[in-house]
Amino acid sequence: MRKQAIFVVVAVMALVWGAAASAQVGGTAATRLRAFDEVPAISAPGAGHFSATIADDGSAIEYHLSYFNVEGVVAQSHIHFAQRGVNGGITVFLCSNLGNGPVGTQACPTSPGEISGTIHAGDVLAVNSQGIGAGELFSVLRAMRAGITYVNLHTDQFPSGEIRGQIVFTPNPIIGSIGAEE
């Protein structure tokens, strides 16, 4: 009987925690980009920073990307779907000078450079081999919260990527959580 009671308590706690986690979409995301984090690693002086704010309702991502000291001519930058140390598919174009991005993709400035923008569901590309459909911003956000997205900047000298950083998500605090002071 005691085992059943413990099981019920654990199951209820898991349901409550799962509901709170799934409702908690908003937050911030950030990473520093460097050549050593590329796959394979590169010895180059370039660096950068990506930061983003995710809307509480999960409908948009406001982002800012800055970079400097890259050795090549900037070609494009993306958010990719993969864990640290692995290359993955492009989910969102941040900028491109190659004319290969979706309509409305902004041009990448020369280094040092900065871009800002807003990502919506319509900006998400299909990565069918990894289970992400076109327009599935919720899939990108789920991966971002789990640490399975990265940003990189590609140049003519390093077409596979010159600087890269794994995105780290920080959720907004849950308002009205248990034990919170009012």
Judge whether 83 lies within some domain. Answer: yes
Instruction: Give the per-residue pLDDT at 177.
Output: 52
In a domain, 181, yes or no: no
Q: Is there a domain that residue 9 lies in?
A: no
Q: What is the CATH number of the domain that holds 112?
A: 2.60.40
In a domain, 72, yes or no: yes
pLDDT of residue 83: 97
User: Could you tell me the pTM of the whole model?
Assistant: 0.82
Q: For the purposes of burial, counting CB atoms within 10 Å of the CB of 133, is it exposed (0-12), middle (13-18) or buried (19 or more)?
A: exposed
Would you state the pLDDT for residue 11? 43
For residue 37, is it within any domain?
A: yes
In a domain, 38, yes or no: yes
Q: Extract the tokens encoding 145.
A: 């919260």
For residue 7, tell me if it sits in a domain.
Answer: no
**Helices (H) then strands (E): counts for the chain:** 2, 9
Supply the range of the domain harboring residue 92.
26-171
Domain count across the chain: 1
What pLDDT does residue 17 have? 42
Burial (0-12, 13-18, 19+ Cβ within 10 Å), 50: buried
Residue 146 has what pLDDT? 96
In contact, 18 and 125? CB cutoff 8 Å? no
What string of DSSP letters covers 94-133?
Answer: EEESSS-SPTTPPPPPPSSEEEEEEE-GGGPPPBGGGTB-
pLDDT along the chain (182 residues), means of 10: 50 42 75 97 97 96 98 97 96 97 95 97 96 96 96 97 97 66 44
**Is residue 17 included in any domain, yes or no?**
no
